[in-house]
Amino acid sequence: MSKLYSNRMNSEFPPGRIDEVIDQTLADKRLVGAVIQIALDGVLVYSRAAGYADREMNRLMQEDALFRLASVTKPIVSTAALVLVAQGRLQLDDRVDRWLPAFQPLLPNGESAIMTIRHLMTHTAGLTYRFFQEENGPYERAGVSDGMDNSGVTLDENLRRIASVPLLYTPGTEWKYSIATDVLGAVIAKVAETSLSEAIHSLVTKPLGLSDTSFLAVDPERLTRAYTNDVPEPRIIDDPDRVAFLENTAGFTLAPGRAIDRSAYPSGGAGMVGSAGDFLLLLETLRKGGAPLLPEYLVSELATNQIGDLPMAFWPGRGFGLGITVLKDPVAADTRESPGTWRMGGTYGHSWFVDPKQRLSVVAFTNTALEGMSGQFTVDLCEAVYDSIKN
């Protein structure tokens, strides 16, 4: 961490409200465990491991705990794509079929479509996720993996299955959160002429020293057990398991054992494992301008709304950059974050945001799906953070 932070925590940062939110959420049995880390102006001002990494084994959470990242994988993989752009090996407006000739899904009317790298990175490619569709929907019938199950398919086979299903819309005309970053991962592997795992290592994790972040748990003993919110307390996520998400949808198909399964394909949208400290270091690297990974102009592109006024389900008041949401209207989003704030989360229970105006980066990794991703905890934690920095 010495590359980024001062040697000691900032004793002037008041943690009271943040501690209260964490303690109350644990007491209410809405979370099992969490690691929260906050950097302000390049200094680590808050770091806490709370609750249990494994409730049944009475194993307390540790700050170096490893988590299944789910969609927290996306900004890591998107950063890798931008590193290739910075190196002149990839262009944002390259056609996807330049790099993946077999990946040519058709429009609903049977006509061909032009899909670009930018479409993949902005989730305007015409794709979706199986968990957004109804039971036995088109992706499920085609056997498409969302990257969090134990389907046994290879990356190439999953792409073939995705391409067999018609696109939802002409690329560039709508925004829908989707499996596009898995396709981007396949592009990265093709451009880098290696596996996606090796490409991410050489392009992102090795240069930054992110030794905890990979497509497999680097130390299974530090891997947290996975839970999902339930009443009266979170329940263990079985392997495999179905976790309800939105009404009238198939929901998530999860296989927590994927984190230690060497045969699982590397999902660019959902397949990585890592620690809060590693991810905070990546966020701070980007917030401070991108060096040594990226030139500042590409970080600016990443953090600029690329989709105009296209509506975004689930995220009112926000636009989308190159792999992350970007806050346009704090009032519409009902948040104290500054305009231009980046934010995302992950199915297994994570949220994070970067407020460049406040020079603030926050990582909240939990082992409790849904509540830690978009539940009341994320709202309360955000409020507490802004209370602390305003003091």
Q: Catalytic residue numbers?
A: 71
Q: Hey, what are 208's tokens?
A: 């930054």
Spatial CA neighbour of 141 closest among 112, 164, 110: 164
∠ CA 328-119-98 to the nearest 5 degrees?
155
Alpha-carbon radius of gyration of the chain: 20
CB 266 within 8 A of CB 197: yes
Say if residue 362 is exposed, middle or buried (CB neighbours under 10 Å; 0-12, 13-18, 19+).
buried
Angle between helices 155-163 and 180-192 (to 10 degrees): 130
Q: Position 309: which residue type?
A: D
d(CA 231, CA 245): 16
Q: Position 222: which residue type?
A: R
Q: Is the peptide bond before 14 cis (omega within 30 degrees of 0)?
A: no
Count of beta carbons in the 10 Å neighbourhood of residue 286 = 24
Concatenated DSSP letters for 262-307?
TTS---TTT--EE-HHHHHHHHHHHHTT-TTTS-HHHHHHHTS--S
Three-state SS string over 52-87 comes to: EEECCCCEECCCCCEEECHHHHHHHHHHHHHHHHHC
Between the alpha carbon of residue 348 and those of residues 16, 106, 243, 345, the distances in Å are: 26, 32, 10, 9
β-partners of residue 253 are 242
Count of beta carbons in the 10 Å neighbourhood of residue 307 = 18
∠ CA 175-345-390 to the nearest 5 degrees?
110
Q: Position 343: which residue type?
A: R
Between the alpha carbon of residue 14 and those of residues 9, 19, 37, 44, 363, the distances in Å are: 11, 10, 14, 13, 17
